[in-house]
Amino acid sequence: MNHILGIDIGGSGIKGAMVDLEIGQFATDRIRIPTPESFSMEDVANTIAEIARHFDYQGKIGVGFPAPVRPTDGVVLNPPTAHHYPGWLGNSAADAFGQATGCEVTVVNDADAAGLAEMRYGVGKDVMGTVLLFTLGTGVGSVMFRDGVLIPNTELGKIYMKGHDDVAELYVAGRIKEEENLKHSQWGKRLNEYLQYCELLFTPHMMIIGGGISKKFDKFSKQFDLKTNTVPAELRNQAGIVGAAVATTL
């Protein structure tokens, strides 16, 4: 059986499960441990080791991390999205997690992990050309694929849009919809404006909308006026863990 431990590091919880890579589904129940308040490298590494012990696991581990990560060595390239604590920037999360677990660890950006899952098992399977996936939550995570190959660490939520004073994610993130109490139609118009800009920049073959809000896709997508086939993600809450496990195979 091709079962790999996938772990997703979030702002409030660190979640893990054994993943069956043949079918892209959990092979066990998911475990969730609250994210350490310190968010220090040591405390997060110890939490990951605790998850590995829970499954009595020794093997490859994939971890989705909330920041751009260099694919070759797991070095964190920007401060983590949810926690701006020292100790991460310029250091290898893969090495720290590997030392804590005694396992070979692959670390990828968490949005990239979700994209890997969606492209291998979900709506993006076998789609060629340029595919963009957006995770709309606290911020805007973005993922880009070309002919099924990941182009890591895109930050399209950080682009500036004409007529707006700040980055796009402060205009279209799922969090902004809630904070500004926007109706689905109002938020959908904003998202359409952003996606039209991404169309202009990249002429994608497909765009995929992920994050928890994708469950309401039919309510806001009525506002879309796009040339690109734009669809909701299929794997949703499992995508981060499944994609982290997939990353160990790349």
What secondary structure, in 3-state letters, does 48-62 show?
HHHHHHHCCCCCCEE
Flag whether pLDDT at 236 surpasses 90: no
| Percentage of residues of the chain with pLDDT beyond 90 | 87
pLDDT in tens, 19-66: 999 999 999 999 999 999 999 999 999 999 999 999 999 999 999 999
The pLDDT confidence band at residue 219, using thresholds 50, 70 and 90, is: very high
What's the token pair of residue 70?
A: 């260099």
Q: Rounded to whole angstroms, what are the CA distances from 41 to 106, 164, 221, 231?
A: 15, 36, 39, 36
Q: What distance in Å separates the CA atoms of residue 111 and residue 136, rounded to the nearest whole number?
A: 10
Name 232's bridge partners: 209
Other C-beta atoms lying within 10 Å of the C-beta of residue 176: 18
pLDDT in tens, 170-203: 999 999 999 999 999 999 999 999 999 999 999 9
| Percentage of residues of the chain with pLDDT beyond 70 | 98
Q: What distance in Å separates the CA atoms of residue 150 and residue 11, rounded to the nearest whole number?
A: 24
| Residues 6 or more apart in contact with residue 197 via CB below 8 angstroms | 159, 161, 168
Record the pTM.
0.94
Domains located in the chain, CATH noted:
3-109+241-247 (3.30.420.40), 123-233 (3.30.420.40)
SS3 assignment, position 32: strand
Q: What distance in Å separates the CA atoms of residue 128 and residue 126, rounded to the nearest whole number?
A: 6
| Residues 6 or more apart in contact with residue 129 via CB below 8 angstroms | 146, 147, 204, 205, 206
Mean pLDDT of 99-110: 97
Token pair 């129940």 is found at: 29
Flag whether pLDDT at 11 surpasses 90: no
